[in-house]
Structure formats: C-alpha cells, structure tokens
Structure 1
Amino acid sequence: MLLLVAAVAALVWANLPGGSYEDFWHTEASIRVGDASLSLDLRHWVNDGAMALFFLAVGLEISREVTVGELRNPRAVFVPVLGAIGGLALPAVIYLAFNPSGPAAHGWGVPVSTDTAFVVGILALFGPRCPDQLRLFLLTLAIADDIGAITIMAVFYTDGVSVVALVLAAMFVAVLIALRWVGVWQLRLYVVAGIGLWLAVFASGVHATLAGVLLGLLVPATPVDPRQREWLRFYGRAVIERADAARARLAVLATRATVPANDRLQDALHPISAYAVVPVFGLANAGVRLDAETLRGAATSPVTIGIVVALLAGKTIGISAGSALALRTRLGDLPGQVRYGHLIGGGLLAGIGFTISLFITDLAFEDETLRDQAKIGVLAGSLLAAVLGSLALRYLGERLPLCTIDDSGGPPPLPAGAWRDPTL
C-alpha cells in the first residue's frame, strides 16, 4: 500500500505545474570529511545509497533460504528456478523483437524482473483461496528472479570500471568471508566492512547496490553454536542473582549471540527497507509527465509497447512453460493443491515489475524521452498484470487440473498396463 501510494503521489507531483518534482530530486547533497567528499543528487542518493539497503535485504533472504530455508531441497527449487529462467529470458527476447537496435535496445533488462512486494500483497488478498504452496512457489521464483536481475545489472548495466577500486572491493569481500569463517556474530563488524565495500563498489563504476547483495549473502545464516545457550543461562542467572548494568549488558549480548546474524540483521532492516526505502524509491522514480504529447508518443513507442507485452506475455508464458517443463520431466515437484490455473495466474502476477524495472530504466536510458516511455510501459504493464493476474486466480484457479498428483492418500496407483484390463 505504501509503495502504491508513493507511486500515485509521484505521478501527481510530476504533473503539477512548475517542475518542482524534477527540481527537488536533482538537489545536490554532499557528505564531507576533511578534504574528501561524496556529492550526489537526491535521486542518486536514493537509487545508489538507500536502495543498497533494499538489495541487502534481498541478499539476506537469499542466503537464509539457501542455508536453512526452502531452497535447500533441489526438487522443491527446480520448478520455480526453471520458471524464473523462462520469466527472465522470454521478456528480454520479446522486448528485443520490438526494439532490435539503437539506444532503445539497451532497455531489454527493464521487463525481466518481478516486484515481490506487490505480488505477495495481492496474494494476501485471496486468503485461503490461494494455496500456501503457490505463495511459496512465487516467493522462491522471486528470489531466483532477483538473483538473475541483480546479475544482469552488474554485468550489462555497468559502464566504466576502475580496477583499483574493484581490487579494494575484493579485499572487503575477503574480510567479510574471514569474519564469517571465524564465526563472528557481532553485527557491527559486518556493517563496518559493508560500508567500506559500498564505497569501493561505488568508486569502481559497478552499481553500488551490488555491495548490498554481497553483504547480505556473506552475513552468516547458519544456526549458532549450541554452547551459546549455556552462556545465556549463565548470564541470565547472574542478572537474576543481582541486577546491575554490566550483568544486564552481558545478558543482552549473550541473547543476541544465540540468534544467527542474518536473522538479527533482517529483523532490524526489514521495517526500514519495506516502509521507508522502497516507498521513497517509488516516489523518486515513478514520476513521469502524462501530458497529451507524452501519452501519444508512448502509445506508438516500441519501447512502451515492448515493455507492456514483455511483462504480460513474456512473464506469463516464460514462467508457465518453464515450470510445466520441470513438472512434466519430473525434475521438480509442486506438492499440495497447486493447479495450472494457479500457475498461470501467478505467472501473470509476476509481470508486476515495478521496483527493479524502474531501477533498471534509470540505468538503461540516457535519453529522457526513452526513459519516460519506459516508465509508462512499466506502470501500464504492471497495472494490467495485477488486474489480469487477479482475475486469472479468481476464475481459473480451481478450474484447471492439479500440477502434480497428490499420492499421499487415496487408492494406490494402478500397475503399468492396467488400462488394458477391462475389469480395472
């Protein structure tokens, strides 16, 4: 809801007379320490700085799911991962079919990503009519989708690269790996190394949000040493015997040490990312002038049309076909009551490409006209995907067959060739 309100507010603000929207987001802001300074406009502080926290949250989620979550089971992962690959590749191909050359072709990465927040929010509106396994499928797909989108940004949307800064970034990565290897559980050490990593990646020319992902992947998510609980009992009893500031501080530290650093950082970061960073990002990037001339240009622009078709048809067909291939070849499984109608509806909803699509739009286009046309395509395609996906889940969800046969109960399967026996 906050992201939706921020997007609408950005559209209204951008269309007010006077141009205050662009003037505000182009305001310069600097951080200076002695002779060293870092100066960016407000939009770049949001896109390069604050969004690193969003991508840090994504990296933490990926690390946790791979380590102790649902991504540990290869069969449970294979269906959404193959669906995500189809959902990444086909939209790019469709977009390039509309924009095969020129500056517009550089925007092929815009329609490849899915906005997890919007998708999960819409699924929540369906309540019990949406199987929990479908939510899990789409969450896993979104994680694989995020990995693909982040890789695309790092590889294809980086201009010049400073080798010295990259070497420095590699040194900070080595420090983070060492902290993880020796079992350091204090978050402040990871945060300090992460800030250094962000500065190095920013100076290298690679988009600075990659530092957030790397930090999230390297903060340990494995269960802590069970001996930490013994320390908690010891310091807890000490506080009960005599409560003072020193004993209370040690008891708090012992409590924190029993929870993986990944979980503690996610808990601290999630409200900031969800309720501040992402809405502010929408406010800073969703604003586009919707005057008659801009709308006429977008209505016939291959950039706008390519993005809309790629988000709707590319995501739906790519995800459905990739998932169906994994199911039909029995490489993966979707347990529970997930039907092909749910799969199609989920594929349509995955066409909501708001956050990262707008993010890549800013990286892909130098020309303001192409950027506005791409933003209109992202907004229109995401809106259509939300409406059509909701309708598909509502009216097709229970009407198409199950994706997999639930053999946990009921009569045993018939032996091979039993269909030839008329008595069976």
Structure 2
Amino acid sequence: MTTAPVRGAARPALRERMTTLAPGLRTFLSTEAGSAVALLAATVLALVWANSPWRDSYAALWHTPAGVFLGGAGLELDLQHWVNDAAMALFFAVVGLEINREATRGELRDPRAVAVPALGALGGLLVPVGVFLLVEGGGEAAHGWGVVMSTDTAFLVGVLALFGPRCPDRLRLFLLTLAIVDDIGAITAMAVFYTDEVDLRALAVSGALVLALLALRLRRVWQLTPYVVVGLALWGAVLASGVHATIAGVLVGLLVPTSLPRDERRDDVAAHARRFLHEGGADREHAAERAGRAAVPTGDRLQRVLHPWSAYVVVPLFGLANAGVNLDPETLADAFRSRLTIGVAVALVVGNAVGITGAATLALRLGLGDLPGRVRWGHLLGGAVLAGIGFTISLFIAGLAFDDPVQLEHAKIGVLTGSLVAAVAGSLLLRWLGERLPLCSPPRLPPELPPLPWGGAARS
C-alpha cells in the first residue's frame, strides 16, 4: 500500500534549508524571547502599581511634562507620549530592519516560503476585525477595530521558547514570518486610519527626507551617521505632520541597506588587517576598523545597536507606561459587560485562530506554498491560537483610537484578557501537539556494521 504525499509538506531542498537558522535570525529570536520576560515583568509591575494605594502616583508620573528647548523653540510632551511617540520609534525601526533583512536576503525572498504565513497573516488581520465589528455591532467603539489586528512578536517568541515544543526553530521561523507580515498590515492601518489631521508642509518635508534616505541607500553609503541624522530629522517632520511619529522608525528600518556588500569590501578587511599586523600604529588600526564596518551590512550594524535597547528598555518601558489598568471588581464587572472588552478579547483569540488557520490551510490546498521543515497542520493551529497575543501594538493603537478614558480602559482590559487566554491556550495546545507531532528531526544513527566471523556484533 502506498501512502499519498501530505499536502503542504516541504520540498526536500526547503526542508534541508530550514534545518538551521541563520545566526542573525537566531540572535533576533533569542533577544525577542528575553524581551518577553522583561515586558511581562513590567506589565505585572504596572498592574500592581495602578491597583495599589499609590495608584495616583502612577498616573501623575506618566503625565509629567518634559521637553527639549533651544532658545524660543522646543518640544514638550508628557512622559507617556515621550515613550509612545519617541522611544517606540526605536521599536518600529527594529521591526522595519527585520522586515528589510528578511525581504533582502532572508525567508521573505522565497515566494513559496512566505506564501503560507503571509496569507495566514492576511486572515489574521481581516477575520479578527470582522469578529470585533460583529460583536461590537456598529456601536460607538467600532472605530477601535485596529486594536485586534496585530500579533506581539516578543510575547509570541517568548512564550514559544518557554512553553512550546522541543526544537521549535522551524515553527518560530514560520510564526516570525507571519508576525512580520501582520506588523506590516497593522502599521499601515495605523498610519492611514488613525491619523486625525495632516500638515501638508511637514508631510512634504517628510517626503523629501524619505527621498534622502533612498538616495543614501542607492549610493551604497555604508556609514551609520548619515542615516541616523536623516532619521532624526524625519522623526521630527513626521511628528509635526500629524501622522504618528513612530512611522518614521519603520521608514528608516525599511530604507537602511541590508544587502551584503561587494566581495572587494571583504578583501579590503584582510588587506588592512595584514598592514596593521605588519606595521601597527593608530592609523592602520583605524583603517582596519573602517574596512571591517564597511564589510558588514549597514542595517545589521544598526540593528545590533538598536535591538537590545528596544527589547530590554523601550518595550518594557512601554508596558510599564501603558498597562496600568484599574482592575477593581467594579471596573472589571463593568468592562466584561462592555461589548468593546468582549469584542477585543474574542477577536484576538477566536479571530486569529480561525483567520490564520483558515487562510493558511487555503494556501496549502491551492498549492501556493509549503509548511517549513517538520511543521504540521496541528502546529499551525496551535501557532494561530498563540498569535492571538496582541499586546504591544494593540495597546498602542488603543491609545490612538480612544480618547474616552473609560473606552480606553475597557479596550486595554480586552487586550490583556485576550492575550492571556491566547498565551495559555496556545501554549497548552502546542505542548500537547509537541509530544505527538515532534518538530525535531530524528537522530541519525550510525550504520549497522556486519557481524563478526566468530559471532557477536562489531563495535562502532
């Protein structure tokens, strides 16, 4: 009896290529996993603080004004907006850099490798919005549909590392690709639908600065300083335009070069290193250092600097500044009677599970792509449930969507509830499936040796 091939099984070449992850991607995933622990600690601290006898000091701290002034010009924001509008630009720059790198020389280059997670992400964008609008029933909070669109990459990777199946690298890569495409959709929606007023002159300046970044990329400028200077100016112009300033971080991440330099750049490293070893001196050392930097993609060097700050400082600080929700019995009872809270929670859990699984299964049935390595449909279902963790960007969009503090509080409770349910349910499902559908390749046993002439087995 012959066994029919499993639809969606990876081709041998793709399976072999997925055996190990690139060092840069592995570093990214490990940093994100560590960030999840820091973010969880900051979230718990914010919730405890906001529900303690010192709750007034929590609100007072984040509404403290702070500014930068030079003569008569300056910029003043409260501390929460400095975190949300300025520091989070670093987070979005890291997201943009990872999208850029994966599209340039990573998994997003292969249409078949990206088709299933990309279509799954599309389902994870549209179906949760539909579920939210269905539950909300066209009420006054319906404009908050963007809250349910995003998957939190840090929590997703962190939960998978802590509670997922053994050897989850292939599943991590699949879910990371899904989260990246999901972030593109959420960021686009944030820029288009959650901008109130636009200053056309500032927007024109922003456009000119984007062209300047593009010119730097096309001229293969490898130094970081020009990109940083133009990026800071772009952040100020986007902030003045009325579009949310974090979009500047995404644009910088997408436009900084991430392609590998030409071979002669690497040859220069060896030549300058030999001269330094032979002659010594500060000038030779400086030349060797510059040659080494020029031989590494500019985006990789920028991400090496920004990612630890984003993961261990910016994202936990965002959680501390935004997750402080009053959870007294009266507030919780009022929230769970609200269609807004129920809609957000149900959309995150059910909408992502149905949307991602359904769209990815359709892509597999149509033969548009493959599942990587030993990832199976059951893993896809567990990962889709886990993708309902919509914390960072969900809280971020909630702050843009709701001016009413009661609605904002209800939306945050919905995000916290849905994310918690998705994390627990997805972890249990993946652990259960991990025991039955292993992601690890079977160990390679040495070939069996022939028996010895006098009997017994040969020793390997």
State TM-score, norm by structure 2: 0.85
- Please, which of 385, 389, 396 is the counterpart of residue 348 of structure 1? 385
Q: How many correspondences in the alignment?
A: 402
Counterpart pick for 2:284 among 240, 247, 253: 247
Please tell me the root mean square deviation across aligned C-alpha atoms, in Å. Answer: 1.5
Q: Distance in 2 between matches of 1:158 and 1:209?
A: 12
In the alignment, which residue of structure 2 is the partner of 1:16?
52
In 2, Cα distance between the equivalents of 1:355 and 1:303? 18
Partner of residue 40, structure 2? 4
Amino acid paired to 1:142: A
- 2:342 aligned partner: 305
Decide whether aligned partners of structure 1 residues 12 and 319 sit closer, same or farther in structure 2, where only a CA change above 3 A counts.
same
CA distance 1:128–1:100, shift in 2 (3 Å)? closer
Which residue of structure 2 lines up, in the alignment, with residue 35 of structure 1?
72
C-alpha displacement of 1:223: 0.9
Q: Does 1:135 align with 2:172?
A: yes
Return the offset for 1:250: 1.6
Q: Match of 1:58? A: 95
User: For residue 7 of structure 2, what is the aligned residue in structure 1?
Assistant: none
Maintained 8 Å contact 2:165/2:435: no
Does the 8 Å CA contact 1:13/1:21 hold for their aligned counterparts? yes
Q: C-alpha deviations, 1:79-126, integer Å up to 9, x for none?
A: 000000000001111111122334311110101110111111121125
State the AA in 2 paired with 1:3. L
Q: CA deviation at 1:135?
A: 1.4
d(CA) in 1 for partners of 2:211, 2:166: 47
Could you report, residue by residue, the CA deviation over 1:11-37 in whole angstroms, capped at 9, with x for unpaired residues? 011112241101000000000122210
SS at match of 1:37: strand
Q: What residue ranges of structure 2 are gaps of 5+ in the alignment?
A: 1-36, 440-460
Q: Verify the 8 A CA contact 1:114 1:353 in the aligned structure 2.
A: yes
C-alpha distance in structure 1 between counterparts of 2:301 and 2:438, whole Å: 42
Counterpart of 1:13 in structure 2: which amino acid?
A: W
Quote the offset at 1:401 in angstroms: 12
Q: Tell me which of 236, 252, 256 is aligned to 1:199.
A: 236
Question: What is the rounded CA distance, in whole Å, between the counterparts of 2:167 and 2:353 in structure 1?
Answer: 18
Question: Within the alignment, does 1:108 sit opposite 2:145 as a pair?
Answer: yes
Of 324, 329, 337, 2:361 maps to: 324
- 8 A contact 1:339–1:397 mirrored in 2: no
- Trace 1:67-146 onto structure 2 (pairs within 5 A): 67-126=104-163, 129-146=166-183
* 2:325 is the counterpart of 1:283: no
Distance 1:400 1:248 in 2: 53
| Structure 2 residue matching 1:129: 3-state secondary structure | coil
Q: Residues 164 and 431 of structure 2 are in contact (CA less than 8 Å); yes or no, is this contact kept in structure 1? A: no
| Matched position secondary structure for 1:331 | coil
Distance 1:3 1:128 in 2: 22
Which residue identity is paired with 1:342?
Answer: H
Q: Distance in 1 between matches of 2:206 and 2:372?
A: 42
Q: CA offsets per residue over residues 267-303 of structure 1, 9 Å max, x none?
A: 1111100000000000000001112221111110101
- State the SS of the aligned residue for 1:142: helix
Q: Give how far 1:249 is off.
A: 1.5
Mean alpha-carbon deviation: is it higher for 92-101 or for 157-166?
Answer: 92-101
8 Å contact from structure 1 (residues 133, 334) kept in 2: no
For the Cα contact (< 8 Å) 1:86–1:319, is it kept in 2? yes
Give the Cα separation in 2 of the matches to 1:395 and 1:106: 38
Contact kept? 1:123, 1:130, Cα under 8 Å: no
Corresponding residue to 1:170 among 202, 207, 215: 207
